[in-house]
Amino acid sequence: MAVDSPSQSVAKAAGDSVARGRSRGTGTPRRAAKRSLSTHWYAWAMVAPVVIVIGVIIGYPLVRGIYLSFTDANERNVARSIGVNEIPASYEFIGLDNYKDAITGSQFLGTLGWTIVWTVSCVALTFVLGLGLANILNRKIAGRSVYRMLLVLPWAVPGFVSVFAWRFLYDERRGILNQVLAGGGIDAVPWLNDPTWAKFSVIAVNVWLGVPFMMVALLGGLQSIPGELYEAAEMDGASAWQRFRHITLPGLRSVSTTVILLSTIWTFNMFPVIFLLTRGGPGEATQILVTQAYKFSFEVSPRDFAQSSTWGVLILVLLMVFAAFYQRVLRKQGEVW
Amino acid sequence: MTTTTPTPQTVNIQTVNTPVRGRRSPLASVGLHVTLIVASVIAVFPVLWVLLTSLKPAKYATTTDFFKETTLENYTNLVNDTPFLTWFGNSLLVAGLTTVVGVFISATTGYAVSRFRFPGKRGLMWTLLVTQMFPVAVLIVPIYNIMASMGLLNQPAGLVITYLTIAVPFCAWMMKGFFDTIPREIDESGYVDGLTPFGTFWRLILPLAKPGIAVTAFYSFITAWGEVAYASAFMVGDENLTLAGGLQKFVNQYGAQWGPMAAASVLIAIPAALVFLFAQRHLVTGMSAGAVKG
């Protein structure tokens, strides 16, 4: 505080003249800019490495991706070298055609529909299960740390290893799941080979992978709720459900809003689970937007960079709209981050 | 959950509820334990199953006999006949560097965002969030071109830089959240003692943020250790591959043989589990410290 108080007053002065928050210093003269340079350079120096890395490695590809989405670039017309011959790029700018095709065609909308079903069910299930387990682990219970360690295990195992483990379990002829079912006299279930079962299976795996993160985050949140609140509530005769409803849930608000937002974004773009488990199959049944975009630029022939970028940009726009909407709803309820 | 405090509604609430805290009916305890055990079994089973499979000779790989002719054959084959150890070393190098660099720059960023008001702060926070949204699948080709033009293809450094862009945004958010819980009075006392802002961060705040750092390190390591898409696109040639890329080769080489794959999976899971154990210990202390502060 001691050091950044001058900068704060600068910010306030500027912020008052401009409406609220956004782009401070627009109305301030050059002198203030100079002064802000001297007070802010510490902060800027500390964030500089991140800004540079992200600017170069994400910024440029992003701009290029957006540009490609307005062209008809594919494997045959991008710049490439065959032997010693350099062949220059010959793709053309075609405006919004790719977007028109994507939005009017049935493929994008169909994939989007399943992506939304996938995201909502995964996030809802992981949150509910994570919350339940976190609540149990937050009590005094014998062997608590052992349980916690076992429950966090799926998070500690690299994703491609656990996906391999699950494929092994799901194997239609020799997998343990079907062997157990056969022991009970039930016919083999085509876990990954039937469109409906495959959808169920990928969701199950993703929930299995996602619960530990939710649980740990919510457990942290639970432990920061002062115990006196519960004691006071008990004195007043509040039931377990009332305590959960009126102390636990409000106390977890800020943690939950963050993890739900993050987990929605991650699930929406969850490439490895779908890609390694089913490759989007059977048919295109479990293909989500990201895996389909990847397929366009790596697996179809000729590789269609333009369409892939178009889908990528649409994914980005959808998520940004969601995040902005989400934040607005929170702000209306008095929560600001 | 439903089994907690089965209070008969007819009894006077006051008398029943006052001694409840810290106590629980035996039935409720059993319910809680059963829930936890079922959940733990589900969490552990797939991994355990792979471990058991890796210890079985090929002909029994898919049977349900757990301990028939237990053997380390799968492991010895893996170590002797394949470049597995080289890949393992490459992965360790990449994941280790990502963790060290990632933790440092996300800590400085998190601290700056938590403590200072500076132009561009809001934009930075949003950018960090937005980078989470852009699909890897679409970035991969342009990033490949950048790496090629900088001569970083097939170099551990190229992968490390790429992984930083995945790990750092989330870590910086997390560190910011953690720094927010450390009282500002500590910073002020640093300034009073004549420390620079960076000195305050380095000498006073960072040591207090150990639990946050542990979680951040864990996340960076796991991200780098388990990443597949970039690793298989950027690294070629047996001696440069990391595990993720190497395993793709296995799948071609061994086809549907589960044994060697299972053994490889177990070996791959070990470093991640070790990092996790280390982080977990700090996580616990961090959480209880946070709870005391309220």
Q: What is the pLDDT of residues A136-167, one digit of tens each?
A: 888 888 888 888 888 888 888 888 888 888 88
CATH code of the domain in which B210 resides: 1.10.3720.10
pTM, full prediction = 0.79
- Of the candidates A42, A176, A235, the beta carbon closest to that of B197 is on A42
Q: Directed axis angle between helix B26-54 and helix A106-137, to 10°? A: 120
Tell whether B6 is covered by a domain. no
* Residue B122 and residue B236 share a domain: yes
Element (H, E) at B163: helix B156-180
Q: Are residues B113 and B149 located together in one domain of the fold?
A: yes
- Residue B225 token pair: 């250790």
Q: Cα–Cα distance between A89 and A82 in angstroms, integer?
A: 13
Q: A105-299 — its CATH code?
A: 1.10.3720.10
Structure tokens at A237: 């005769």
Q: Are residues B28 and B118 in the same domain?
A: no
Whether B64 maps to a domain, the answer reads no
Q: Which tokens go with A73?
A: 């670039």
Query: Residue A11 above 70 pLDDT?
Result: no
- Note whether B167 and B41 are same-domain residues: no
Q: Are residues B166 and B29 in the same domain?
A: no
Q: How many CA atoms lie within 13 A of A218 on its CB side?
A: 30
Please give the residue range of the domain that contains residue B38.
13-54
Residues of CATH 1.10.3720.10 domain(s) within chain A?
105-299
- Phi, psi (degrees; rounded to nearest 5) at B37: -65, -45
* CA distance to B97, B98, B155, B238, B249, per residue, from B94 (Å): 5, 6, 10, 16, 19
Intervals of chain B under pLDDT 50: 1-20, 285-294
Residues B151 and B246 in one domain: yes
Residue B23 and residue B133 in one domain: no
Is position B287 within any domain? Answer: yes
Q: Please report the pLDDT score of residue A303 as a whole number.
A: 79
Whole-number Å distance between alpha carbons of B155 and B161:
10
Residues B250/B264, Cβ–Cβ less than 8 Å:
yes
Within-domain flag for B269: yes
| Residue-level length of chain B | 294
B88 plus B48 within the same structural domain: no
Is residue B101 domain-shared with residue B36, that is, in the same domain? no
Contacts of B40 in chain A (CB under 8 A): 147, 150-151
Residue in B30, B41, B133 to test binding to A, most A beta-carbons within 10 Å? B133
- Comparing alpha-carbon positions, the chain A residue that sits nearest to B202 is A46
Model pLDDT for residues B165-210, shown as the tens digit of each residue? 888 888 888 888 788 878 888 888 888 888 888 888 888 888 888 8
pLDDT reported for residue B16: 42
Say how many domains are in chain B. 2
The mean pLDDT of A173-186, rounded to a whole number, is: 79
**Coil, strand or helix at B119:** coil
pLDDT band at A206 (very low <50, low <70, confident <90, very high): very high
Please check whether residues B97 and B239 belong to one and the same domain. Answer: yes
The answer, for A52 touching chain B at a CB cutoff of 8 Å, is no
The answer on B234 and B108 residing in a single domain is: yes
Task: Give the distance from residue B42's alpha carbon to the nearest chain A alpha carbon, in angstroms.
Answer: 8
Q: What is the pLDDT of residues A25-79, one digit of tens each?
A: 444 456 555 555 566 777 888 888 888 888 888 888 888 888 888 888 887 777 7
Distance CA A190, CA A261 (A): 33
Question: What are the residues facing A85 on neighbouring strands?
Answer: A82
Q: Is residue B230 located within the same domain as residue B152?
A: yes
- Does the residue B253 lie in any domain? yes
Token readout for A269 is: 């773009």
Q: Does B142 touch chain A (CB under 8 A)?
A: yes
State the DSSP code for A93.
B
Alpha-carbon distance B155 to A308, whole Å?
27
